[in-house]
Amino acid sequence: MAFTIENNLPVAGCIRWSGLHMQYWGVSYTITDGYSNSVYFYWTPSSPTALVSSLTFPTLGPDDCLIFLNKSGTAVTVPTATIMDGDLIVPGSIMSNAIAANTITGDKIHADTITANNMSIGAITAKSMAVDAVGAGVIAAGTITGDRIVADAITAREIAARCITANEILAGTISANEIKALTITASQIAAGTITTTQLNSAVGTGLNISSNASITSKVSSTQVDTMINAIVIGGRNMVIGGDFESDTVETSTINGGILSIDSTEHFLNNNSLKIVTKAASASSGGGVWCHNLTIGKVYTISLQIKSPTVDNVTVSVYSTALAKLGSVTSALAINTWKAIQLTVTATETSFLIGLINGSAKAITYYVDAVKAEHGTKATDWTPSNEEIQDAIDSAQTTASNAETDAANAQSAADGAQDTGSAAQEALALVGDRVTQTEASISTNATSILSKVGSLEFENLSGKVAGNASEIAQFDDKIAFSVKTVSDNLLLSDSKIATINSHMTFDVDGLIIGQDNGLTDNLKVQIKNDEMNFLDNGQTVAKITGQQMDITRAKITTSMQVGQHMIETYGDEITLIRWVGGAV
């Protein structure tokens, strides 16, 4: 069965395989598809459905099989390879006595194939190499160190002019002990070959370099000043709502991308912009608009982006006509926020900061901390001037409303105090009238007694005796009347307290409803122009003029709207029928 092997996928340095099967002792094993940046991949019966990877040459058993070799992202299928790669040679398996002189020349050896780890000390001497057989281009930097070379084995006669430069010499590898006096002269050193990175810190004491233009030109204060002056640092964010915490940000889709505000991923506060690209397009995504720019000025765009997959993202800046002003592509690691920035010159007063997939693939991006600022240096994210002003205005409005609420509360308290004072005055007046009545009764009784003589009293005695029962009954009526007045006074005080607890007057009007300290307080507020139904302080219904506004209503049986009746029929059917007549 055919299998597929792909290079540098899904990211550079990796190889990816699919559809791979292994046949072993008459049994076919399906290998799990996968990818990796390891070097060696082999199959073993102990793990028959997956390849085993290793960064170093593995120790293979008699039934193990080396399948792939990863050469920096390029796959070599070992069982079908026609050229033996150096990485496929078991370390230490080929000794120098098994190789005839001049059998292996430089053109037969791939660059970087044989390193110092593959050579025994002293195994290869100058006598084993033809002149110019091994050039500097075949030797990887740092591969051959001083401890690999026998003393005096390589002299100046075996080294072609300019074959070995400073790039091939590891810092500190060749010291004065390895160089014969007067062996290396100025004629063997190319200009610019030895730089400060190859020199010990002690070198240069008393050295005059004033005449060497190649050195002095590298340290020019004028050039340093010019580069520093070219750096322009901005600060003001021209993107409104770049933290996606409000609905002030202006976005656009690009070639079918799906945009939404997401609260599961965020770099700054609580939200981010979620972009899902379209699989059928290699330039699908979304973007954020930036306005109030100055034409001809340089702006630096910076943002934070992450993806739940290993993918690339292309950040581009477009004009209003979608002409590309600048672009940068970056690889993203799994679930890791990455900072991206680029610098463009504004050609209009607005441009679009776009993020696209770059390949026909559905990719999810999360974007946060979008900023566009004048200059060439990106600074930390800050809100736009418009957002800062809105926050100031909102704070001022809140403070003003608090002052108004405090004034209204003070007015209501003053009104309640006046009402209590009036009630107390009324009760005091009733008490005064009772006291006056009792005094009047006492005064009249004395006057009556003073006007009745003894004869009249005797004449009246019989009448009093005859009317004793009526007098007793009248006395009971007087006592009952006094008690009734007392009860009425107490009842009036209770009613006033009840009214005060159920009715409140303020500058807006009348509020009816008892404030019992519970959360389910239902009250009615009556104003000159409207009536509000309040639930726990919030308006849930309102009547203004001939219109009633309510968030939710429940009609149990029927409701007439104009000349139509909406009513239930059974448990599952609702009918709308015409009933005619004026409403």
On average, the pLDDT of the chain sits at 80
State percent of the chain over pLDDT 90.
37
For residues 514 and 477, membership in a common domain is answered with: no
Rounded mean pLDDT of 244-255? 92
Flag whether pLDDT at 447 surpasses 60: no
CA neighbor of 196 nearest in space, from 171, 164, 168, 174: 171
530 and 442 within one domain: no
pLDDT at 2: 84
Last residue of a domain, one of 372, 388, 404: 388
Mean predicted confidence (pLDDT) in 226-254: 84
Indicate if the pLDDT at residue 430 is higher than 60: no
Same domain flag for 315 and 434: no
Taking CA atoms, 559 is separated from 343, 532, 553, 554, 583, in Å, by: 65, 22, 11, 10, 12
Residue 123 lies in a domain: no
Residue at 180 is within a domain: no
**pLDDT digits over 79-97, tens only?**
988 888 878 887 767 766 6
pLDDT at position 539 is 86
Q: Do 16 and 63 reside in the same domain of the chain?
A: yes
Together in a domain, 261 and 348: yes
Asked whether residue 523 falls in the same domain as residue 480, the answer is no
Q: Which of 120-124, 345-349, 376-380 has the lowest mean pLDDT?
A: 120-124
| Sequential DSSP letters for 308-356 | SSSEEEEEEEE-TT--EEEEEEEEE-BT--EEEEEEEE-SSS-EEEEEE
- In the predicted model, what is the mean pLDDT of residues 380-400? 87
Confidence of residue 451 (pLDDT cuts 50, 70, 90): very low
Instruction: Say whether both 340 and 450 belong to one domain.
Output: no
Is 276 part of a structural domain of the chain?
yes
The confidence band for 395, taking pLDDT boundaries of 50, 70 and 90, is: confident
* 539: nearest Cα among 562, 560, 511, 506: 511
For residue 495, pLDDT over 80 is answered with no
Question: Are 382 and 256 within one domain?
Answer: yes
Q: Is the peptide bond before 62 cis (omega within 30 degrees of 0)?
A: no
Cα-based distances in Å from 422 to 353, 418, 496: 70, 6, 11
Question: What pLDDT band is residue 452 in, cutting at 50, 70 and 90?
Answer: very low
Rounded to an integer, the average pLDDT of 24-52 is 95
pTM over 0.95: no
Identify any residues that bridge with 523 across adjacent strands, giving them in sequence order.
534
**Range(s) of the domain holding residue 333:** 251-388
Strand-pair partners of 54 = 40
Choosing from 455, 473, 497, the residue where a domain stops is: 497
**Among 25-34, 80-89, 348-357, which stretch is predicted with the lowest mean pLDDT?**
80-89
Looking at 330, 363, 388, which one is the last position of a domain?
A: 388
Residues 277 and 364 in one domain: yes
Task: Output the pLDDT for position 118.
Answer: 66
Q: Could you tell me if 382 and 440 lie in one domain? A: no
552 confidence band (pLDDT: 50, 70, 90): confident
Give the count of domains, the chain: 4
Q: Does 321 fall in a domain?
A: yes
200, pLDDT greater than 90: no
Are residue 492 and residue 517 in the same domain, yes or no?
no
Q: Is the pLDDT of residue 205 over 60?
A: no
